[in-house]
Structure 1
Amino acid sequence: MQSPPDNLDAHALGRAAPEKGLAREACPYAEGTEARERWLAGYDAAVAEGAEPVTGGLKREPGR
């Protein structure tokens, strides 16, 4: 998987991830990067505010 461009707001992308059906472990940024830390912080903030966390990478639609 390719990482998103660096000019995107990684925190905002992470914050939107649960609603987009992405699990925390599906973070697109490489380990050890600031972008990864920001994405994970955004994801965790969304979950803390009530977003339903996704497990297993990507949320599957029923019947697929």
Structure 2
Amino acid sequence: MDSPPNDLDARALGAAAPGKGLAREACPYAEGTEARSLWLSGYDEAVAGGAAPVTGGIAKHPVGPGH
């Protein structure tokens, strides 16, 4: 999966996170913020759509470009 552009919204970044080897608990946004809610909902949608969830923060061997 290619890296998402930096101008994406928090939901889109959350949706891209499982493919980048990030766990749900690795959300970069502060507790109680709208950005956190959006990121988590994007992550959950990606997992519900078939993306493999990651546990424990950041995968030890994240999937890189071309994998």
| Bin of the TM-score, shorter chain as denominator length | 0.7 to 0.9
List gaps (5 residues or longer) in structure 2: 1-6, 62-67
Q: Deviations over 1:20-47 (max 9, x none)?
A: 0000000000000000000000000000
The aligned counterpart of 2:13 is 13
> Over residues 2-57 of structure 1, what are the superposed CA-to-partner deviations in whole Å (9 max), with x where a residue is unaligned?
xxxxx640000000000000000000000000000000000000000000000000
Structure 1 length-normalised TM = 0.83
- Aligned-pair identity in percent equals 75
- Distance in 2, Cα, partners of 1:38 & 1:22: 16
Q: What is the TM-score with the length of structure 2 in the denominator?
A: 0.79
The 5-angstrom pairing of residues 1-64 of structure 1 reads 8-61=8-61
Q: Distance in 1 between matches of 2:47 and 2:11?
A: 13
Any gaps of 5 or more consecutive residues in structure 1? 1-6
Amino acid aligned to 1:12? A
Over the residues paired in the alignment, what is the CA RMSD in angstroms? 1.0
